[in-house]
Copies of this chain bind each other. A is one copy, B any other.
Amino acid sequence: MSTDDADDLIFKALSHRIRRRMLDVLKSGAATTGTLCTAFPELDRCTVMQHLGVLEEAGLVVAERRGRERWNHLDALPVHAIHERWIGPYAAYAASMLSRLKREVELSE
C-alpha cells in the first residue's frame, strides 16, 4: 500500500466525529468493545464494531484478544506522523507557543 493510500485510510477514519470521539475515549486507556458500546449508547454494537474496523484498518486502533474480550488500544503513531509531516520537530515549540497564545486570547475575549 502506498503512503497516499495509507493516508487516505487515516483521514477517512478521522473524518467521522464518532470515530474521533472513540479515539478520545481510548486516549485515557484501552477499552473493551463492550465498554465502547456503553460509552456510545446511541449506537448499536454492530455500528460500534464497524467504526472500530475503520479505525483498525487505518492503524489508529490496535485490537487485542483476551479470552472472549476484544481490547481496543489507541495507536497514536499515525497522529504523530501527521504532526511530523507539516510541523516537524523544529517548529513544534513555536506551534505549541502559538497554540497557547491563541487560547489565552480567546479566553480574554
Contacts and interface: CB of A to CB of B under 8 A. Distances in A.
B89 A23 contact: no
Interface of A: 4, 7-8, 11-12, 14-15, 17, 20, 23-24, 27, 74, 76-77, 79-89, 91-92, 95-96, 98-99, 102
A16 B84 CA distance: 18
Nearest to A15: B11
A84 B20 CA distance: 13
Task: Give the number of times this chain occurs in the complex, counting copies.
Answer: 2
Nearest to A81: B99
B99 A77 contact: yes
B79 A87 contact: yes
Contact of A15 (B12, B79, B88): B12
B14 A11 contact: yes
Contact of A86 (B8, B79, B96): B79
